[in-house]
Amino acid sequence: MQLREATPEERLQFYKEEWNKRDLPDFILHTLSLREFGFDLDGTGPSHRYNQFMTVEQLADFLRNKAPYAAYASVALYEQPSMRKGWLKSELVFDVDAKDLPLKSCSCVGGAVCEQCLNEARQVAIQFAETMRSDLDLHNINFVFSGRGFHIRVTDESVMAFEQAERAQLVEYITGCVIPTDVTITLGYSRVFRGRVARTFERLDEQRLLQVHGMRNALAQQLVKERERVLTAIRAGRLSDLENYNGMGPKTFRNLLEFFIRLNSEFTDGKVTIDTKRILRLPSSLHSGVSMKCMLVRDMERFSIEEAAPKFVRERMQ
Ligand SMILES: [Zn+2]
């Protein structure tokens, strides 16, 4: 499927003929008047901020009349959204963008995405959500296809009141981007960390491993050749075995760990999670940059991006 920019006429066609308020997720519909809406009207950036809609009909009128290049709504609920005042609470969100994945098997560069890296982003989002369910007891987890990746939007009351510092800790926990301490080991973090490191190591080739400071050619070759053995050790909690692996030594081992941590942290944009006043692309709206619908995904396991193709794209393909 070719992902190209939508024309103003196509945007208009989408909002006049296809946009439907039923495509707004309940978690937005039920709190619509408490959210700040932002728009990029012409493709120059989301500068039209501080909008409030008291009813879904008002929002519908706006979208049909303006056919914006992009539409966003705040993750926060406010007493006065049109002034961004009276913060009440915010969803907990994770942004997994295919274009920013640190490891991918396709050859996309720059801002490009393809079905392959979108699929890889989907897998990462599923894994993050699993950790949230099993370790953090979160259950109101919504997935949104953003057009270039996936948003995880959590609406459990237990996390919506979280401040920035608590959200930052959740990013570290879920992505596995800090080395476990004695305290976090007892909380189960060590297991999450090992799992994330294993998934990262699984995808590393020799060339990437050579970016680790002090990594010798022969050692990188050996690590790749014995990948399964190394993975087993990591998953079993014997990560420190690597220190003695073929003469790696403590220094290179430390560098390797730091390399893993940096890559782990790059699977999501932590700044998005921490920012309680962020606006996120509105599910049901059009991502005009790639001509895809931003949409709620009910079944992540089976989701295919063809479901997100608007009518004008499907017509083009016939
Ligand atoms: Zn790609």
CATH (domain of 297): 3.90.920.10
Are residues 34 and 94 both part of a single domain? yes
Are residues 264 and 155 both part of a single domain? no
Q: In this structure, is residue 115 part of a structural domain?
A: yes
Beta strand 92-97 with 149-154 is antiparallel
At residue 238, what are phi and psi to the nearest 5 degrees?
A: -105, 45
Are residues 50 and 145 both part of a single domain? yes
Q: Looking at residue 307, what DSSP letter applies?
A: G
Q: What CA–CA distance (Å, rounded) separates 313 from 316?
A: 5
Are residues 2 and 132 both part of a single domain? yes
Residue-wise burial string across 241-268, b where 16 or more C-beta atoms lie within 10 A, e elsewhere: ebeebeebeeebbbbbbebbbebbbbbb
Q: Which residues contact 294 (CB under 8 A, 6 or more apart)?
A: 144, 145, 146, 147, 281, 282, 283, 284, 285, 286, 287, 308
Beta strand 292-293 with 92-97 is unpaired
Global pTM reads: 0.94
**Are 97 and 307 a contacting pair, CB within 8 Å?**
no
- Look up residue 303 and give its two tokens: 């989701």
H helix or E strand, kind and range, residue 119: helix 115-136
DSSP state letters, 211-242? TSTT--HHHHHHHHHTHHHHHHHHHTT-GGGG
Q: In this structure, is residue 168 part of a structural domain?
A: no
Are residues 95 and 116 both part of a single domain? yes
What's the confidence (pLDDT) of residue 109? 87
Domain that holds residue 244: 176-268
Are residues 127 and 21 both part of a single domain? yes
Distance in Å, CA 184 to ligand 1 centroid: 35
Nearest to 280 by CA among 73, 78, 91: 73
Q: In this structure, is residue 41 part of a structural domain?
A: yes
Distance in Å, CA 229 to ligand 1 centroid: 29
Are residues 111 and 184 both part of a single domain? no
Q: In this structure, is residue 281 part of a structural domain?
A: yes
* Catalytic hit among 23, 97, 100, 182: 97
What's the confidence (pLDDT) of residue 189? 87
* Catalytic hit among 42, 61, 95, 182: 95
* Catalytic hit among 61, 156, 205, 269: 269
- What is the number of alpha carbons within 13 Å of residue 64 lying toward its C-beta? 12
Q: In this structure, is residue 298 part of a structural domain?
A: yes
Are residues 61 and 185 both part of a single domain? no
Q: Is 95 a catalytic residue?
A: yes
Distance in Å, CA 212 to ligand 1 centroid: 24
Q: In this structure, is residue 218 part of a structural domain?
A: yes
- Among 227, 244, 268, the domain-final residue is 268
Are residues 103 and 188 both part of a single domain? no
Q: Is 23 a catalytic residue?
A: no
What's the confidence (pLDDT) of residue 271? 97
What's the confidence (pLDDT) of residue 264? 97
What's the confidence (pLDDT) of residue 28? 98
Are residues 182 and 226 both part of a single domain? yes
Q: In this structure, is residue 209 part of a structural domain?
A: yes
Q: What CA–CA distance (Å, rounded) separates 234 from 241?
A: 9
Are residues 155 and 182 both part of a single domain? no
The total number of structural domains in the chain stands at: 2
Are residues 38 and 109 both part of a single domain? yes
Distance in Å, CA 148 to ligand 1 centroid: 10
Distance in Å, CA 203 to ligand 1 centroid: 15
Q: Which residues of the chain have pLDDT under 50?
A: none
Q: In this structure, is residue 170 part of a structural domain?
A: no
